[in-house]
Chain A
Amino acid sequence: MRKQDVSRREFIKQSAGVAGFLAVLASPMATVLARDKASAGMPQEPADKKKRAWCMVIDLKKCDGCVTIGTVPQCTNACILGHYVPKGQQWIEVYEDDLPGGGKYFLPAPCYQCENAPCVNVCPVAATYHDKDGVVLIDHRRCIGCRLCMSACPYHRRFFNWGEPILPPEAAFAEYSPHYPVPAVKGTVIKCMFCSHLLPNGKLPFCVAGCPMKALYMGDLNEDIASNGKDVVQLSKFLSENDAFRYKEELGTKPRVYYLPGHGQTFGRTADDPRPFVPATWPWGGESGFVRPDGIFPWSETK
């Protein structure tokens, strides 16, 4: 009996010792592992204390690729103008995809702000991260330009500033923050960030506000509400009743952009409408969007 007591006491003592030792060992590990948030000590957007889960709903029944009005897709255009997007990048890009029985539909694709984001997982320096509202942001002061996130993104929604972007002079006056990455930084990765500089102030993103068909909705999964600037809908009911889907859902990335199937029928566009959308244009960017050497000599620079 007595012998057992001693051994029990010893056992407890020893296990406490081992646990303490392990804790000491683990503490530097914990600090290293906890450091997965970039931009610690950076001024965060203060306006909204609430924890949001921003998401977007795109009603393809209303999206006619702007062919019925004969302009470039207005979401892309508003985005380019609003963020001084370097030439060649379309943070929200309209794709033309095939319908099963022939014909085309249009698919506007912003960054999907995945909950299980492959890009965030592979970033070696935590330059790309989720902010408190679930938006995937990039800190361009930390990004080293390895482009691992671009190879990891299964939706091709990330772009690289291959050189010094040619932007209008007023872009230089913008105050940079990961929420509003303007002006674009050479040698870093850039993408749509859901206009998270506008959202806390109760404003809609440029693309949502710019869509003349009101096909884009901005929503909050936590408050179960979404709006396209005209109507306000109950998000969960809206998604279910309209058979919403997410692009490449089977990959398990849990995107926060939902599509309601359609091909622009609300505005009378038929499935076999042959009109293609008008390619996006940039008012800046010179020929290729970046400062480039002309020929092999550095002194013969062109813009």
Chain B
Amino acid sequence: MRSRAIESFQDRLERVSLAPLIHTQKTYYLFVFLLLATVAWGLYAYAIQLRYGLVTTGLGDQVMYGVYIVNFVFFIGISYAGALVSAILRLTNAGWRSPITRISEIIAVGGLTDGALQPIIDLGHPERAWHIIAYGRFQSPLLWDIIAITTYLVGSLLYLYLPLIPDLALARDRLGQSASGFKRKIFTVFAVGWQDTPDQRKRLNRAIGIMAIMIIPLAVSVHTVVAFIFSMTLRPGWNSTIYGVYFVIGAVFSGTAVLLIVIAIFRKVYHFEEYIKEKHFRNLGYMLLALLLLYLYLTFTEYLTGGYKMEEGEEQLLTLVMLGKNAPWFWFFVIAGMIVPAFLLIFSKLKTIPMVLIAAVLVVLGMWVKRYIIIVPTLEVPLMPFEFGSYSPTWVEISIGLATLAGFSVMVTLAAKFMPLVSVWELKEEAEKETHHKEEAEGQR
């Protein structure tokens, strides 16, 4: 016997989660238009860069990597929201994850696509990118990157798609004429004849289980080899053994923060308050705190082991980072990106959602700055007896950087129109399990 409460919960869930697929507000169009305009401006800037070459950037023979590579590390890092929430929480059977898995997987795909584009934007000869496949050398860390990132992207797409099948079938069956013909076609094709039979469910669950296990080593490998691009060189700061771990933890850290921001926005806009609860912000906030402390610890060991010995290059780097030209960036990262969020998260019980959210925003900003601190100052340190290098991005780099962010936002925003943002079937399962437990408990009494 099913209780009435459950039925109405399910109806409400379907109504709320499918609503964004058929109803679109004016502000949505405006928002998407603004984002696309930013992307278009970025494309114009890129056209100029293609025409004249990288001379249009602020890069030079000394500081030869800048905003593009910072964004590369940053956006690949963001994609870890997917690996973390959907895979780790699924494997540890944390029931509260169901409402946020879909959003985290969308972030993963968006972040990866965006991140993978950055090195190509940074190439002097983007039209020769195919040389990497035609003449690729396995000895080069860049090839490890290409392999790891494309594999992870395919994995993430699969991992986004598999749990989506029952929900697409739901959209196909429930929306009927209220959705446009184009969307109906998409739902029908991508639902691949899902009828919700026990056999189909069993197979789906097994496939998702396999992907959840596979996605974790894939994710770890991706940011490890991103770190290897830097740590395979003989430069002060980069010449480090912990860079792989350091980058992986940093990626999960910033990914969780971005996830918090995105679920807060979707919760507000599409009224998911019943599913994405305060509990989610609290739990994710604690995870963010744990990751923050871990990252703080790694940062501390990284700088202490270099700073204690004070090799010449290391000394120049630390002076540059902590006292010199880059000091404002560095101390912004330490204070606004680490210490303030730590306190906000520790005392987040006072007013959970706003405090966790402010912490998340600060962490995201701080982690962008941290990637800048990792990449640019090391290149500014002179390798021969000459002056320190300097770098400041030009309007081309800033435009392309903003367009990158807009591109990521547009991907996430458009996803809201083509798939339910919460995993409806998993939420239903959870709710059924809960009432089942309750009924059992009552029966025993």
Contacts and interface: CB of A to CB of B under 8 A. Distances in A.
Contacts of A145: 54, 123-125, 128
Contacts of B122: 146-147
Interface string B36-58: 00000000000110011111110
A38 B135 CA distance: 8
A68 B142 CA distance: 47
Interface in B103-119: 119
Contact of B124 (A144, A155, A251): A144
Given A95-B384, A124-B132, A144-B124, A296 B395 contact: yes
A296 B384 CA distance: 34
Contact of A187 (B48, B124, B139, B232): B124
Contacts of B56: 163, 292-293
Contact of B52 (A109, A124, A293): A293
Interface string A117-130: 01001111111000
A143 to B, nearest CB: 7
Nearest to B230: A151
Nearest to B131: A125
Interface string B83-123: 00000000000000000000000000000000000010011
Contacts of B61: 88-89, 150, 156, 158-160
Contacts of A150: 61, 64
B428 to A, nearest CB: 47
B139 to A, nearest CB: 6
A147 B64 contact: yes
A142 B235 contact: no
B294 interface: no
B411 interface: no
A171 interface: no
A187 B52 CA distance: 10
Contact of A123 (B52, B124, B137, B233): B137
A162 B385 contact: no
A148 B141 contact: yes
A164 interface: yes
A290 B53 contact: yes
Contacts of A97: 385
A93 B383 CA distance: 13
A233 B125 CA distance: 44
A188 B124 contact: yes
B234 A251 contact: yes
Contacts of A109: 384
B52 to A, nearest CB: 5
Contacts of B182: none
B327 interface: no
Residue among B56, B132, B137 with the highest chain A CB neighbour number at 10 A: B137
A72 interface: no
A222 interface: no
B131 A163 contact: no
A146 B65 CA distance: 9
Given A124-B132, A159-B61, A143 B125 contact: yes
Contacts of A161: 53, 124
B140 interface: yes
Contacts of B65: 147, 151
B151 interface: no
B307 interface: no
B234 A298 contact: no
Interface residues of B, number: 49
B401 to A, nearest CB: 16
Contacts of B354: none
Given A122-B140, A156-B61, A298-B48, A186 B124 contact: yes
A32 B133 CA distance: 11
A24 interface: no
Nearest to A186: B53
Given A95-B385, A97-B385, A146-B142, A126 B137 contact: yes
Contacts of A36: 137, 139
A286 to B, nearest CB: 12
B229 interface: yes
B186 to A, nearest CB: 36
A67 interface: no
A71 interface: no
A251 B153 CA distance: 37
Contacts of B300: none
B125 A124 contact: no
A187 B137 contact: no
A271 interface: no
A288 B48 CA distance: 18
A125 B135 contact: yes
A187 B54 contact: yes
Given A95-B384, A122-B142, A144-B131, A292 B55 contact: yes
B352 interface: no
Nearest to B54: A162
B384 A163 contact: no
A262 B298 CA distance: 44
Contacts of B132: 124-125, 144
6 contacts: A150-B61, A150-B64, A151-B235, A187-B124, A188-B125, A292-B55
> Which 10 pairs, one residue from A and one from B, show the smallest C-beta to C-beta distance?
A145-B124, A187-B124, A163-B55, A124-B142, A163-B53, A124-B140, A162-B55, A97-B385, A154-B234, A156-B383
Interface of A: 32-33, 35-36, 38, 88-89, 93, 95-98, 107, 109, 118, 121-127, 142-148, 150-156, 158-164, 186-189, 251, 253, 288, 290-293, 296, 298
Given A123-B140, A152-B232, 6 more contacts: A35-B137, A125-B132, A150-B64, A154-B234, A156-B62, A290-B55
